[in-house]
Structure 1
Amino acid sequence: MDRFVGQARLEWWANQSTCLETYDIDITVTVDAVATLRATGRHANALDTTQREGWDFLMEMDPYFSIAFPGEDRGGIMVGVVEAEDGTLTLTEVPNGDGSANVTFGLT
């Protein structure tokens, strides 16, 4: 795949068995000469207030998601996500799929 334009799904995994949230995105992906994925996109649907709060929380906690393309049950490529003020998402592949930080939080 040198270029893909379509929809994909960002998945935020707390651990190997718990996906906390998924977000559908419209995306344009390119792969450079050394097979590094680079992508830009936007949320496929506007986030409501609750979804926006969840998105902002996850982005602040750890802005790394796995990305699933059409036909995939689960994302396999880890990407770092940056959101611009205009809502544009920039996704950059994380080397070795290691994008998670160790974060501890309590639920009350």
Structure 2
Amino acid sequence: MDSLTTVARLEWWANSSTCLAAFLVAVTIVDGEQGWHAAGQLTRAEEDPDLAALCELDEVFELCLPDDSTMVVMVTALTPTGSFALTEA
């Protein structure tokens, strides 16, 4: 099983040209036999209400990794402390 733990940016896009929010997150992505799964944590706990509000509108975000690669993810299992799970969108 391969894994990656890194700091990334979680972006919420209103449309293809307008990013309305970006959150710095610590994320661990694990690639296993059944595909990948990931867990993350906001680096700034005070942003939790903003992330929760956007998740209520649409759970689809873009995860931007330090190597400039991106993937479309769904933020699920958001907790009051700012931790969450990521699944493939």
- Please tell me the TM-score bracket, short chain as reference: 0.7 to 0.9
Which sections of structure 1, spanning at least 5 residues, go unmatched?
95-108
Q: 1:19 to 1:78 in 2, by over 3 A?
A: same
CA distance in structure 1 between the partners assigned to 2:80 and 2:45 by the alignment: 14
CA distance in structure 2 between the partners assigned to 1:45 and 1:85 by the alignment: 12
Q: How many matched pairs?
A: 88
- Give the deviation of 1:31 after TM superposition: 1.4
- The CA RMSD measured in Å over matched residues stands at 2.0
TM-score relative to the length of structure 1 = 0.70
Which sections of structure 2, spanning at least 5 residues, go unmatched?
none
Going by fraction, where is strand more abundant, 1 or 2?
2
- In the alignment, which residue of structure 2 is the partner of 1:84? 79
> Whose radius of gyration is greater, 1 or 2?
1
TM-score relative to the length of structure 2 = 0.83
- In the alignment, which residue of structure 2 is the partner of 1:32? 32
Task: Classify the secondary structure of the residue corresponding to 1:13.
Answer: strand
Q: Which has the higher contact order (CA 8 A, sep 6+)?
A: 2
The correspondence of residues 5-24 of structure 1 with structure 2, limited to 5 A, is: 5-24=5-24
Identity among equivalent pairs (%): 33
Q: 1:57 to 1:86 in 2, by over 3 A?
A: closer
CA distance in structure 1 between the partners assigned to 2:51 and 2:82 by the alignment: 12
